[in-house]
Amino acid sequence: MIVTFFRKNRISNKNQNDMFIKKTPKFNMIKSCIVLVILIFTSLYIQGQAVPSEEENIPFLVTFGNKAETLWGDNDFSQVFFFMVPENYKGMVFIRVFDPDVGGKHDELNGVWDTQVRYSIYGGKDAFSHPDAQEVNPKKNYKTGTQLATKTFGVDPKYDDNWYPFGPFNPTQGEYDSKYGCYIFKVICEGISGDDGNLYRYFMSTSGTANIPIEGGNAFAYEYTFRLHDNPKEVSHIYPYVETESVKIKQMNFDWDDDGVIRVTSEVRREELCAVSGDNVWAESEFAVRDGEKGKSLDFQFIKSPKGIKNNNVVIYIRNQNGENLKFYSSPIGGVPKYKYVIETQKKTPATKK
């Protein structure tokens, strides 16, 4: 791509400036390096604000209509996400939704299309900081804060396989959080009628018409309800962030349909298996946090069985010993953790005398 860009530029300039061409090899090398740097930075930020992100490799978020049976893979017909805007950003904020409708492409049909989903954006005091907003089930007060926008979708060919923009919002309409140095917006998607599955994605953008990331932005959730790939070779991930006070962690997953394994990896933990759920039931398991995991992200990997369950939707959330829910950041804090073999070898092998 860079080479093509380089060649095209060179040809288009050819007749206009022969001197430029003669001087180009070094100049163009610098230019292509600059383009490469821009592309790398752009892709990094895009991964941060697409929900789900590229690192998560999750094809879609899922929220069913509230008349669906939970065996379809959604336990509570509601999903909450938080978007973080760095305090130094002064431009406009849009929350764009891909395939916000329930019908046509991507969505999961149950009988006839009869489902409505409502998206609502909240900011201001308590949008994030209220304890009920940080719960995994839609408790009474989870819609805390000031409602900034809302829209209900059913079947809607205009936005099928297409983007709908919420906004523009001023960053300061979010709730300011001094710990993170950012403004936080809450986005709730609820299935308010019907029994079909809404599949969708988000992107926080500086533009209403394109996905342009906000530098340093991120997003997180306390509970994920998502669709797995049908291809068993595709591995999906979530990256819970381990606060330094965490000593024990419990994971809970719902309706995994015994579709292979869920395992956790960190710099000091290799592919440890978690309890997995069958159809329409929960499974849970816990483990002690290791020193090398505090202040970093874990990598939960969802690995399907070779045959793979088609259209498999699953729910997961993770708690520490105090019952606090861990945040799953779209752009994992500290990066994607890679197991460091050397560390475990050193710990397990007693030092031998020379």
Residues 140-169 touching Ca ion, rule: CB under 5 A, are: 160
Question: At 180, which amino acid appears?
Answer: Y
By CB under 5 A, tell whether 243 contacts Ca ion. Answer: no
Furthest CA-CA distance within the chain: 75
By CB under 5 A, tell whether 114 contacts Ca ion. Answer: yes
251 vs 278: CA distance, rounded Å: 15
323 vs 142: CA distance, rounded Å: 17
User: What is the nearest approach in angstroms of Ca ion to the Cβ of residue 239?
Assistant: 21
The backbone torsions φ and ψ at residue 290, rounded to the nearest 5 degrees and listed phi first, read -95, 155
By CB under 5 A, tell whether 208 contacts Ca ion. Answer: no
Helix/strand/coil for 19: helix
User: What is the nearest approach in angstroms of Ca ion to the Cβ of residue 166?
Assistant: 15
312 vs 134: CA distance, rounded Å: 26
202 vs 195: CA distance, rounded Å: 22
By CB under 5 A, tell whether 106 contacts Ca ion. Answer: yes
Residues 56-75 touching Ca ion, rule: CB under 5 A, are: 73
Q: Which is nearer to Ca ion, 120 or 218 (CB)?
A: 120
By CB under 5 A, tell whether 255 contacts Ca ion. Answer: yes
By CB under 5 A, tell whether 107 contacts Ca ion. Answer: yes
Q: Which of 55, 223, 257, 293 binds Ca ion (CB under 5 A)?
A: 257
Only segment of 134-142, 219-227, 250-258, 343-351 that touches Ca ion (CB under 5 A): 250-258
Q: Which is nearer to Ca ion, 55 or 255 (CB)?
A: 255
By CB under 5 A, tell whether 200 contacts Ca ion. Answer: yes
Handedness of CA 126, 130, 134, 136 (dihedral sign): negative
Q: Are 221 and 81 in contact (CB under 8 A)?
A: yes
Only segment of 39-47, 87-95, 183-191, 194-202 that touches Ca ion (CB under 5 A): 194-202
- Interface with Ca ion (CB under 5 A), residue total 20
Only segment of 41-49, 167-175, 197-205, 341-349 that touches Ca ion (CB under 5 A): 197-205
Q: Which is nearer to Ca ion, 87 or 160 (CB)?
A: 160
User: What is the nearest approach in angstroms of Ca ion to the Cβ of residue 236?
Assistant: 13
Residue with tokens 């498999």: 312
User: What is the nearest approach in angstroms of Ca ion to the Cβ of residue 313?
Assistant: 5
Only segment of 13-21, 141-149, 199-207, 325-333 that touches Ca ion (CB under 5 A): 199-207
Q: Which is nearer to Ca ion, 111 or 350 (CB)?
A: 111
User: Cα separations (Å) of 286 from 192, 273, 283, 303, 321?
Assistant: 34, 10, 11, 19, 10
Please state whether 117 falls in left (phi above 0), alpha (psi between -120 and 50) or beta. Answer: beta
Residues 268-307 touching Ca ion, rule: CB under 5 A, are: none
46 vs 205: CA distance, rounded Å: 9
Q: Which of 11, 16, 111, 353 binds Ca ion (CB under 5 A)?
A: 111
Of 57, 104, 17, 139, the closest CA to residue 303 belongs to 57
First-to-final CA distance of the chain: 55
Q: Which of 76, 108, 196, 223 binds Ca ion (CB under 5 A)?
A: 196
Question: At 338, which amino acid appears?
Answer: K
Of 183, 351, 191, 333, the closest CA to residue 266 belongs to 333
Q: Which is nearer to Ca ion, 110 or 173 (CB)?
A: 110
The site for Ca ion (CB under 5 A) is made up of 73, 99, 101, 104-107, 110-111, 114, 160, 195-196, 198-200, 255, 257, 312-313
